[in-house]
Amino acid sequence: MGIFDEIKKKLSHEFIDIIEWLDYTDDTIVHRFERYQNEIKNEAKLIVREGQTAVFVNEGQLADVFTAGTYTLNTQNLPILSTLKGWKYGFNSPFKAEVYFVNTHLFTDEKWGTKNPITLNDDRFGLVEVRAFGTYAFKINDAGKFIIDIVGTDANFTNFEINEHLKSLISTRFTDTIGEANLPIELYAANTTELSDTCLEVMQPEFNSVGISLEKFFIENVSMPEELKKEIFEYSRIDKLDLDKLTKFKTAKAIEAAAANEGGTAGAGMGMGMGFVLAQQMGGMMSPMAGQQQAHTPQQATPVTPPPIPVQVQYFYAHNGQQAGPVSFEQLKALFANRTINKDALIWKQGMSNWTALKDIEELKSFLGGNTPPPLPSN
């Protein structure tokens, strides 16, 4: 063997014959295969394992991409690189190229959350603030695009580096999605599954644009201030109550309490008040009883005629574009208190020619925090 053969043999052993990456970590997404002067020998072996993709980059340009398998590197299986290098008839000398191994397995249980409260405009409660958090899972579905657009020349790219970008993207798209949903505020926490599916669909194109597939997205919780929770719970209870039945129930309880204290002044006053309420509810029964009483009254006694029982005004109101009612004054006041209606809600009662905003009806102005005096008489 001549001296030149020995030199060739020595040089050939300086070049790496096998290109592979053994990943022993769970957080590495991209690893650049390091070798002396980036030189790769002709006929070198490339080993790509399951869950990996190998990407060749030549002077910043994306070249050939290899999925799982074992390859002998030559001009036949490096068509793009051969074109970039200008190899028309093959090559025998080492060539330079950067080789990136991309981890394509599923990265699970990644955390996300809103850094700042999200402000929503609710029809009943006005401007409210909510926060949300959850988990997501992703994987790389276009290794070449991911390296060119995201990784660049980073030799060891981890999911920590991409997570900050992804969490910012998720927070932005989540804010847009729940803002456009325009749901009643209490339904966001009750419909996390539907919201999660919607967010996944909305965010997927953004992830795909950089070579990432958003596989799963979960909203674990949508939270709001405690005082708002209490207000929502109270509203929910009032909304489910039959106000008419509630009034009758409280009347009966008050009469029972007054009867238990009939000797006291307070009991007498309560009895008179409850008697008046019962008189309204039992008007049909009172007339025959009054007639029988007058039949036994001596002729010399002058009968006393009570004033007519006042007729309770009934109101109709517009809610969500629909007519609702009739309700009494107190029931209408309760609807205003629990924000089912507001000062601009349209109201109608018998005798009115048109529907009128609540704030413009004289007897209802007390709902707004005070009565408005009538105009002064003209001189």
Q: What is the pLDDT of residues 225-264, one digit of tens each?
A: 778 777 766 665 665 555 566 566 667 767 777 766 655 4
Residues of the chain above pLDDT 70, percent:
70
The single-letter code of the amino acid at 242 is D
Q: For strands 315-319 and 45-48, give the pairing.
A: unpaired
What's the rounded mean pLDDT across residues 205-216? 92
Cα–Cα distance for residue pair 98/117, rounded to 1 Å: 44
pLDDT of 274 > 90? The answer is no
| pLDDT computed for residue 208 by the predictor | 92
DSSP 191-229: THHHHHHHHHHHHHHHHHTTTEEEEEEEEEEEE--HHHH
What's the rounded mean pLDDT across residues 40-62? 86
Residues of the chain above pLDDT 90, percent:
15
Listed in sequence order, the DSSP H helices in the chain are 3-14, 79-85, 143-146, 159-181, 185-190, 192-208, 226-240, 243-260, 265-281, 283-295, 329-337
Give buried/exposed letters for 104-124 (b at 16+ CB in 10 A, else e). Answer: beebeebebebeeebebebeb
Cα–Cα distance for residue pair 117/115, rounded to 1 Å: 7
| pTM exceeds 0.85 for this model | no
Cβ(34)–Cβ(77) under 8 Å? no
| pLDDT computed for residue 356 by the predictor | 92
Q: State the pLDDT confidence band at 211, using cuts at 50, 70 and 90.
A: very high
pLDDT of 22 > 70? The answer is yes
pLDDT in tens, 290-311: 455 454 445 555 667 777 766 6
Nearest one of 28, 216, 194, 193 to 110, comparing CA atoms? 216
| pLDDT computed for residue 141 by the predictor | 92
Cα–Cα distance for residue pair 22/72, rounded to 1 Å: 19
